[in-house]
Amino acid sequence: MTRSAALMFAAALEVCCTSALAQPKDWDAIQIKSSRVSEHVYMLEGEGGNIGVSAGDDGVFLIDDQYAPLTPKVVAAVKEISDKPIRFLINTHWHGDHTGGNENLGKAGVLIIAHDNVYKRLSEGGVIELLKQSYPPASKAALPVITFNDTATLHLNGDDVTAHHLPPAHTDGDSYIQFRKENVIHTGDVFASYRYPFIDVQSGGSVRGVVRAIDHLLPLIDEKTKIIPGHGGLPSKKDVLAYRRMIATVADRVESMAKAGKSLQEVIAAKPTRDFDEQWGKFRKPDVFVEIVYSGFAPKKAADVSAETSKHHQARPTAKPALNSLPDPP
């Protein structure tokens, strides 16, 4: 049995064994879509964060891995791109829709890399108070084997691929991945195409941090840069600029009202996202995004998260109960 076949069998077995713990989801219906981004770089879309794939003579390098039940499909999609083994995996941050496949891949011998804070949050577990969720520690196989503080570079497949840690933004462990020669950037969840983002304040994130992260990325992006977002389709630099304008404008409006002592209900009623809802409000409803932003400026005043917020962020199943409750906040 090949390593890939063994990996797929093990993943399927573990999914079966944990199905009673999982939120209802028709994983069989989810398809993995592959898009070629550049000569050696691809993007996989399925359920959860977008996966980056570097494939070449040196093997396969993954950026994020979605959920454990999808590992066999992810591996199959990679095999359609390259018959080389998956050697490396880097997590852009700790959320379960980007790290749910870690345990399956780690057990298959894939070397996992992440920022120090990703290791810390996965190994210790944690909470996201806004979503009323708590998460137990991840298993040893799911943890990064190599961690970094600022940058980590892989020299493979004819390119210099560098993971750069960003100051706290979506979380405190965010990294973007830059392919210098192929002019490709995987942003992780500091940028998401065509949707209002989730900002994990409990994990050190902040709306102002997201703006700063985008300001850091923009000088690296030219008209030919290919951008793999944390979620959504392939965007252009124009889309990133529009995203920055949206977040900065909503943050200014919400912060001003929060500092004036307005309640969450009053801020929502003021509709601070009104001129952005048509473009950005199709996945995450505007009121939910306002609540997320408000919680960062006035966390002690934030009301309980709405039932709709909880619906959008239900924990999804992973390979073992230790990972079963990792968050789903794209």
Which value, in Å, is the radius of gyration of the alpha carbons in the chain?
19
Spatial distance between the Cα atoms of 313 and 17, rounded to a whole number of angstroms: 23
Query: Going by C-beta distance under 8 Å and a sequence separation of 6 or more, which residues neighbour residue 119?
Result: 143, 144, 147
> Is 246 or 130 the better-scoring residue by pLDDT?
246
244 pLDDT band (50/70/90 cuts)? very high
| Structure tokens that stand for 53 in this block | 């794939």
For residue 151, pLDDT over 90 is answered with: yes
- The per-residue pLDDT for 3 is 45
For residue 286, pLDDT over 90 is answered with: yes
- The per-residue pLDDT for 6 is 44
- The per-residue pLDDT for 18 is 32
For the chain, domain boundaries: 3-161+253-324
In the block, which residue shows the tokens 């870690």? 102
| Structure tokens that stand for 326 in this block | 């990792």
Spatial distance between the Cα atoms of 259 and 101, rounded to a whole number of angstroms: 41
In which region does residue 213 sit, left (phi positive, over 0), alpha (psi from -120 to 50) or beta (all else)? alpha
pLDDT digits (tens, 9 = 90+) for 12-67: 333 333 322 334 589 999 999 999 999 999 999 999 999 999 999 999 999 999 99
- The per-residue pLDDT for 313 is 40
| Structure tokens that stand for 48 in this block | 């959860």
pLDDT digits (tens, 9 = 90+) for 69-121: 999 999 999 999 999 999 999 999 999 999 999 999 999 999 999 999 999 99
For residue 145, pLDDT over 80 is answered with: yes
Query: Going by C-beta distance under 8 Å and a sequence separation of 6 or more, which residues neighbour residue 296?
Result: 199, 201, 205, 206, 207, 208
Spatial distance between the Cα atoms of 111 and 115, rounded to a whole number of angstroms: 14
H-state helical runs in 19-126: 71-81, 96-99, 102-107, 116-124
Query: 3.30.429, 3.90.550, 3.60.15, 1.10.3470: which CATH number matches 3-161+253-324?
Result: 3.60.15
300 pLDDT band (50/70/90 cuts)? low
Average pLDDT of every residue of the chain: 86
